[in-house]
Structure 1
Amino acid sequence: MTRCDWSDVRERLARLAAAPRAVDDFSYSGHGWELEPPLSADDLAEAEAQLQITLPSEYRSFLLEAGRGGAGPAYGLFPIRKLDGRWQWEGDGADLTERDTLKLPFPHVEAFNPADGLPDPPDEEDYDSEEEFNAAEDAYWEHHHSVVYKPEHSVGLLYLCHLGCALREALVVSGPARGQMWADDTADDGGFRPLHDDDGTPLGFARWYRRWLDAAEVSHGIHA
């Protein structure tokens, strides 16, 4: 079973923050090696009631014991905050989480790409004028985006971090893959795919977070 005791996390982050060149880490500006305070049990209960879901246990325990967001994979873990009476996640891409459809089951268990089957973009050489080509290109991308970025593709996905270049990673909170971490590579026409550990098993939140923490320590020469 994946370890869900988070009592060591803040101490490990403090060692990373004190490491030489820690401020040079590409993601430092996103989180500064710091976690925001944890949620109280009452706050978490209120958030889950608003969203009409029970969050997967590994992430739930992190919110209660470690922090509500901050230091984490890539540019950091999107924090959950209460704004104008509504609980929501904040960050570059956090708005991809559709609060109203988070409770609906994410139906996939295998990678899928909404862009599969779409035609290639128009070729300028096939058009008699720049105006015709521009019109065809605009129409193509309008259709492309209407297919690839349908909100239905991401129901049940809780977006937790961004990797840059509009690539994000999300936690499945409902459906047959509940508790797994998935990548959203639609910005590169790569679709959606489950994340896996070195042995090929699907990554849950705890292992996903600890893999990042382990790798950060190795990168900065910190040994347990």
Structure 2
Amino acid sequence: MNTRVNWSGVRERVIAVEEAERRARGRGPSRYPTFENVLTPAAIAEVEAQFGVALPDEYRTFLAEVGAGGPGPALELMSLRRIDGKWGWVWESDEDHPWLLDPSGPFVETEDWADQQIATLRAAGYEPTTRDEDEDYLDDYRKVFGDAGDDAWFLERGRGAIPISDNGCGMTGWLIIVGPHRGELRDRDCAVNPPFEPYVDANGNRHTFRSWYLEWLEQRERQLDDQGL
């Protein structure tokens, strides 16, 4: 199936919505572009070569046809940028802390996360202690990995996925890149160890990147129509 047609006109529709909302608030045109530049096929191939994985088709074509960052569900999409010769996902201008995809294993669903921690600790020659109600085995990671324990625990939790959207107040949306649910999205609240919950549509079907993004855009367009804008 040719997925390239999926994003036809979407960039223009989002820009039109953004401009209509600015006019409704009495604001003039923005000084900044609505979207980051699209990525060339060569740039996308470079991203995939760096991480050793193929990006899900819907996201891959979005990068090529709509943009490498910009407006999206909740607040905005993460931006995919080359920083110091390496590609990574960043919040707005925070290029000091890019997210680098770990493709070494599949994304671990919430119900399997505790077992994954136990396996990691045992592989390091350590028998886990009692599971904490909120933080699972984070204290054990600190004992095993020392000062790197928090980072090891956090990065392993996001393995096989990328943060795709900033939902405000520390909440994030994630796109699964590696694993049986590749191409699906997960919603994560703000806490030390919140669950990853599937994004679903009105019928309870799990969203992919395209259905999630288009649902958001169509809702915004309906709101403008309802307001007569």
TM-score (norm 2): 0.70
SS at match of 1:80: strand
Structure-1 residue corresponding to 2:179: 175
1:206 to partner: Cα distance: 0.1
**Structure 1 pair 22–86 and aligned structure 2 pair: CA distance change class (3 A):** farther
Unpaired stretches in structure 1, ≥5 consecutive residues: 122-138
**Structure 1 pair 19–84 and aligned structure 2 pair: CA distance change class (3 A):** same
Matched, 1:54 2:92: no
Q: Matched residues in 2 for 1:111 and 1:219: separation? A: 37
Q: Matched residues in 2 for 1:152 and 1:189: separation? A: 12
Matched-pair contact (CA < 8 Å) for 2:78–2:164: yes
* Residue type of the alignment partner of 1:107: V
* Residue type of the alignment partner of 1:6: W
Q: Matched residues in 2 for 1:154 and 1:195: separation? A: 17
Q: CA RMSD in A?
A: 3.6
Structure-2 residue corresponding to 1:152: 156
Q: Matched residues in 1 for 2:134 and 2:64: separation? A: 47
4+ aligned runs moved over 4 Å, structure 1: 1-4, 20-24, 92-96, 110-114
Structure-2 residue corresponding to 1:198: 202
Q: Matched residues in 1 for 2:201 and 2:225: separation? A: 22
1:75 to partner: Cα distance: 1.6
Structure-1 residue corresponding to 2:128: none
What's the % identity of the aligned pairs? 33
Q: Matched residues in 1 for 2:106 and 2:134: separation? A: 32
Structure-2 residue corresponding to 1:97: 99
1:67 to partner: Cα distance: 1.0
Structure-1 residue corresponding to 2:121: none
* Residue type of the alignment partner of 1:97: W
Superposition map of 1:125-164 within 5 A: 150-164=154-168
Of 159-168 and 187-196, more deviation after overlay is shown by 187-196
**Structure 1 pair 106–96 and aligned structure 2 pair: CA distance change class (3 A):** farther
Q: Matched residues in 1 for 2:39 and 2:98: separation? A: 22
Kindly provide the CA deviation profile for residues 179-208 of structure 1, in whole angstroms up to 9, marking residues without a partner as x. Answer: 100112252754111111111111000001
Structure-1 residue corresponding to 2:73: 73
- 1 or 2 for the larger relative contact order (CA 8 Å, sep ≥6)? 1
Matched-pair contact (CA < 8 Å) for 1:17–1:33: no
TM-score (norm 1): 0.72
**Structure 1 pair 150–207 and aligned structure 2 pair: CA distance change class (3 A):** same
How many residue pairs get aligned? The number is 194
Matched, 1:13 2:14: yes
Unpaired stretches in structure 2, ≥5 consecutive residues: 115-130, 144-148
